[in-house]
Amino acid sequence: MQADVPADRAGAQAEAQPVKGREQAGYKEGTSRGTVRGQPGRGRQQPGRPGPAVRCGMRSPELPVPPPAAAPRARPGRGRTRTSESGSASLSLRPALPGQAGPRAGEERAEPRSPPPEGRRGLRAQTSPAPIDGTAPARAGGLGLGGRAGTADGSCLRPGPDPGKGCCPSYQDQNLPPTQLASFPIIRPALQDLASSRWHWADQPPPNHGRGCLYGLVFDAGSTHTSLYIYRWPADKENDTGIVSQVEACSVAGPGISSYADDPAGAGAGLKPCLDRAMKIVPAEQQRETPTYLGATAGMRLLREENSTKAEQVLAEVSKAIGAYPVDFRGARILTGSEEGSFGWITVNYLLETLVKFSFAEKWAHPQDTEVLGALDLGGASTQITFQPGVPVEDRNTSVFFRLYGTDYSLYSHSYLCYGQSQALKMLLAALHQASSRAQISHPCYPKGYKETITVAELYNSPCVRAPSSARPGLVLTVTGTGDTDTCHAAVQRLFDFSCGAQGPCGFNGVYQPPVRGHFFAFSGFYHSLHFLNLTGGQSLSLVNATIRKICNSSWKQVQELFPTASRTQIRDACTASSYTLTLLLQGYKFNVTTWPNIHFIRQVANTDVGWTLGYMLNLTNMIPSEPPPAVVGLLRSIWIAATVLLAIMLLLSSCLLTATCCQRDSSGYEQL
Ligand SMILES: Nc1ncnc2c1ncn2[C@@H]1O[C@H](COP(=O)(O)OP(=O)(O)O)[C@@H](O)[C@H]1O
């Protein structure tokens, strides 16, 4: 369903034609927009207008998805569980059409898995259990058990008549050393470079003279919640990189928009407080040119699988709500799993300036000898892994190509639907229920002494779990925690099929994956589940194992004492979530004791949340063009001064020469006379 978009915007969007390019995969070495540094506004794309170029592409959605390595496992219920979101979805890195849903073909339906082989090793503590202090003060850098919302720069939140004054932070202000990462020695040099380059900008004239700042708004409509990210960048540096900062992340009250399937208007109404907040931040005269997007992720992908009409209704309602505000609304759509992974990867590498960097020669350039980082995202309903494997990606369904700032990137990316944290925990409970086939469920990952009830209807309310045909929806199930680490780990492992078969290296459920390579940022649920146990500070794998083991063996009373301020659900899920996270990383994505230190659990870099939204906006506003702007960009001021002096000298010399010639001619004339 198309969203309501004014005709003038439709025109702009129509410029963004799908581009045929290399390998017919929607890839184009796009044209840069020719922004000339020092001449603000000239040659610059109008803010809020999509860039002309499509810069990358992915496999066509029609490509077949490889069959699972293992034989299907019969599971009762209605239909198949979706477990894999293949990169076969066309990743259209171009302005989204309003209300356009992402291609469905990318949503690979899950194939049932075979039971994992017997005797698979569980998670084992390799050292004696370490004390857990979930209430310990946050490490340097201020990482804490935080809410989703945060104000990066409170001083800039007031609307003002003059957006150019006090609106954009100065470059000094932007030089916010991402101290969250200070404990990661490998990453630190890159961050020091980042900081130094920002100091370098500080030498430049203030960026916000003239047009002030530009803003962009992106709603992350996740399966568990929705957030509005408000971004800002200096207007005269629109085509530059590394300068977009997050002003605020506004958390929408209530669950994710997919929960409003039976009340679509409620999904739209819920967005209004955050839109009102944005209208207070973005100066009134700039609101109409502020590009605004809503991207929905796995929750909506699942709803679309279940009932596409309801999914469209929800999208239509959120579009209507956003369209009522005076912004340049560019549409609400459902991202494919591959887009989610790829935009997360762009965000990570943009924030670390591994794609393009401001050099000492005062030019933006692709940094030499800089390794890009991989991205690991754990949502509520899906998880993504995206990295540059350094070897050809053998499965075209998981292959992603980017050309960014004149450099080609060949990535591996895959999204597993239903393997986000909330849905995985639901699958675990359903499996335990089906194993018990009674109204009593013993949950080995819940603390001893914990008890709750849940109806069959509540348990089986997702396409990721299938109700047994005999299950009565109204039946009340009693779930009792047994706090048994080994049984818990075994149950978590049974959610996966780790066997790769003959087809080569894989992740899980028979999905091809080359061996992990280089450093990774692990964010969203990966960060939150381990941060709760204070395990995001570069702890060794043995300590992580020992800590999780200890928490999983604790009683309900003990964990309540350990986490006095946490919610009941957080405490209940501490063991399950961390066990699941570790299993996914180690057995699923195949990290090991050697590569474990290469995973950096992170929530923010330089006060900007790490997630897909920033990469999405950067792409749709063409802020990382496929080719660098023309070479005239970034000429040194000293060169201009030298050129002016040289010109003056040349003019002086020419006039001297002219005078001398005239004099000579005059004297020769006399001679003739
Ligand atoms: N402040 C937080 N504390 C704990 N967990 C969080 C927090 N913020 C996000 N999460 C977790 O991060 C994930 C975000 O998922 P979400 O974006 O809603 O899902 P998806 O990307 O699958 O649609 C969820 O697993 C959620 O529980």
Ligand 1 atom 17: the closest Cα is on which residue? 222
Distances in whole angstroms, Cα of residue 288 to Cα of each of 42, 52, 158, 320? 20, 20, 18, 16
Is ligand 1 within 6 A of the CB of residue 148? yes
594 or 125: which leads in pLDDT:
594
Ligand 1 atom 8: the closest Cα is on which residue? 148
How many Å apart are CA 597 and CA 382, to the nearest integer?
24
Least confident window among 259-263, 436-440, 583-587, 606-610: 436-440
Does the pLDDT value for residue 136 go beyond 50?
Answer: no
Highest mean pLDDT among 145-154, 502-511, 644-653: 502-511
| 487: DSSP letter | H
Q: How far is the CA of 229 from the centre of ligand 1 (A)?
A: 15
pLDDT of residue 660: 78
Q: How far is the CA of 212 from the centre of ligand 1 (A)?
A: 34
- Where are any strands of DSSP class E within 181-225? 213-221
Q: One-letter amino acid identity for 591?
A: F
Is-contact 620 50, C-beta < 8 A?
yes
Highest mean pLDDT among 226-230, 368-372, 389-393: 226-230
Q: How far is the CA of 419 from the centre of ligand 1 (A)?
A: 13
Q: How far is the CA of 83 from the centre of ligand 1 (A)?
A: 18
381 or 111: which leads in pLDDT:
381
Q: Tokens in use for 137?
A: 């003060």
Does the pLDDT value for residue 137 go beyond 90?
Answer: no
Is ligand 1 within 6 A of the CB of residue 613? no
Does the pLDDT value for residue 256 go beyond 60?
Answer: yes
Place of tokens 């959605």: 61
Least confident window among 75-89, 109-123, 327-341: 109-123
Q: How far is the CA of 601 from the centre of ligand 1 (A)?
A: 14
Distances in whole angstroms, Cα of residue 47 to Cα of each of 128, 281, 620? 57, 17, 11
pLDDT of residue 362: 66
Q: In what order do the strands lie in the sheet with 245-252?
A: 150-151, 245-252, 226-234, 213-221, 291-296, 328-334
pLDDT of residue 376: 98
Is ligand 1 within 6 A of the CB of residue 299? yes
What's the distance, Cα to Cα, between the start and end of the chain in Å?
94
Place of tokens 């040659």: 43
Instruction: Work out the percent of the chain whose per-residue pLDDT is above 70.
Output: 63
Is ligand 1 within 6 A of the CB of residue 225? yes
pLDDT of residue 168: 58
Is-contact 402 408, C-beta < 8 A?
yes
Ligand 1 atom 11: the closest Cα is on which residue? 525
What confidence category does residue 623 fall into, taking pLDDT thresholds of 50, 70 and 90?
confident
Does the pLDDT value for residue 535 go beyond 90?
Answer: yes
> Which of the listed residues 223, 347, 524 should we mutate to test ligand 1's pocket, taking the one with most ligand atoms within 8 A of CB?
524
Does the pLDDT value for residue 145 go beyond 70?
Answer: no
Ligand 1 atom 14: the closest Cα is on which residue? 379
Ligand 1 atom nearest the C-alpha of 224 is 18
Q: How far is the CA of 669 from the centre of ligand 1 (A)?
A: 92
Is ligand 1 within 6 A of the CB of residue 341? no
Ligand 1 atom 20: the closest Cα is on which residue? 379
Least confident window among 300-304, 434-438, 455-459, 470-474: 434-438
Q: What is the ipTM of this complex?
A: 0.96
117 or 503: which leads in pLDDT:
503
204 or 403: which leads in pLDDT:
403
What confidence category does residue 405 fall into, taking pLDDT thresholds of 50, 70 and 90?
confident
Convert the pLDDT of each residue in 311-364 to its tens digit: 999 999 999 999 999 999 999 999 999 999 999 999 999 999 998 777 666 667
How many Å apart are CA 505 and CA 515, to the nearest integer?
7
Distances in whole angstroms, Cα of residue 357 to Cα of each of 93, 116, 361? 22, 46, 11
How many Å apart are CA 230 and CA 223, to the nearest integer?
20
Is-contact 442 482, C-beta < 8 A?
yes
Q: Give DSSP secondary structure letters for 607-649.
A: TEE-SHHHHHHHHHTT-S-SSPPPTTTT--HHHHHHHHHHHHH
Does the pLDDT value for residue 43 go beyond 80?
Answer: no
pLDDT of residue 639: 59
Does the pLDDT value for residue 635 go beyond 70?
Answer: no
What confidence category does residue 642 fall into, taking pLDDT thresholds of 50, 70 and 90?
confident
* Phi, psi dihedral angles at 136 (to 5 degrees): -60, 150
Q: Is 340 part of the annotated catalytic residue set? A: yes
Q: How far is the CA of 101 from the centre of ligand 1 (A)?
A: 22
Is ligand 1 within 6 A of the CB of residue 295? no
Q: Tokens in use for 452?
A: 């709750």
Question: What's the mean pLDDT in 522-542?
Answer: 98
Q: One-letter amino acid identity for 212?
A: G
Ligand 1 atom 13: the closest Cα is on which residue? 379
pLDDT of residue 94: 40
Convert the pLDDT of each residue in 148-177 to its tens digit: 223 222 222 222 223 333 345 433 333 333
Does the pLDDT value for residue 516 go beyond 50?
Answer: yes
pLDDT of residue 293: 98
Ligand 1 atom 1: the closest Cα is on which residue? 147
- Binding site residues for ATP, as ranges? 380-384
Q: How far is the CA of 116 from the centre of ligand 1 (A)?
A: 28
pLDDT of residue 243: 81
Least confident window among 163-167, 438-442, 603-607: 163-167
Is-contact 9 46, C-beta < 8 A?
no
Does the pLDDT value for residue 51 go beyond 70?
Answer: no
Is-contact 386 491, C-beta < 8 A?
no
Is ligand 1 within 6 A of the CB of residue 463? no
Ligand 1 atom nearest the C-alpha of 382 is 22
Instruction: Work out the percent of the chain whose per-residue pLDDT is above 90.
Output: 55
Does the pLDDT value for residue 499 go beyond 80?
Answer: yes
Ligand 1 atom nearest the C-alpha of 611 is 17
Is ligand 1 within 6 A of the CB of residue 297? yes
Ligand 1 atom 24: the closest Cα is on which residue? 380
- Binding site residues, as ranges? 380-384
Is ligand 1 within 6 A of the CB of residue 175? no
Does the pLDDT value for residue 607 go beyond 90?
Answer: yes
Question: What's the mean pLDDT in 33-53?
Answer: 28
Q: Which residues contact 158 (CB under 8 A, 6 or more apart)?
A: 280
Question: What's the mean pLDDT in 557-562?
Answer: 98
What confidence category does residue 649 fall into, taking pLDDT thresholds of 50, 70 and 90?
confident
The active-site residue, picked from 340, 458, 561, 627, is 340
Mean pLDDT value across the chain = 73
pLDDT of residue 211: 63
Is ligand 1 within 6 A of the CB of residue 256? yes
18 or 508: which leads in pLDDT:
508
What confidence category does residue 83 fall into, taking pLDDT thresholds of 50, 70 and 90?
low
pLDDT of residue 242: 59
> Which of the listed residues 225, 304, 536 should we mutate to test ligand 1's pocket, taking the one with most ligand atoms within 8 A of CB?
225
Least confident window among 110-124, 176-190, 244-258: 110-124
Q: How far is the CA of 602 from the centre of ligand 1 (A)?
A: 13
Is ligand 1 within 6 A of the CB of residue 380? yes
Is ligand 1 within 6 A of the CB of residue 44? no
- Under CATH, which number does the domain 212-334 receive? 3.30.420.40
Distances in whole angstroms, Cα of residue 30 to Cα of each of 5, 79, 338? 26, 42, 21
Does the pLDDT value for residue 268 go beyond 60?
Answer: yes
Does the pLDDT value for residue 295 go beyond 80?
Answer: yes
Does the pLDDT value for residue 206 go beyond 90?
Answer: no
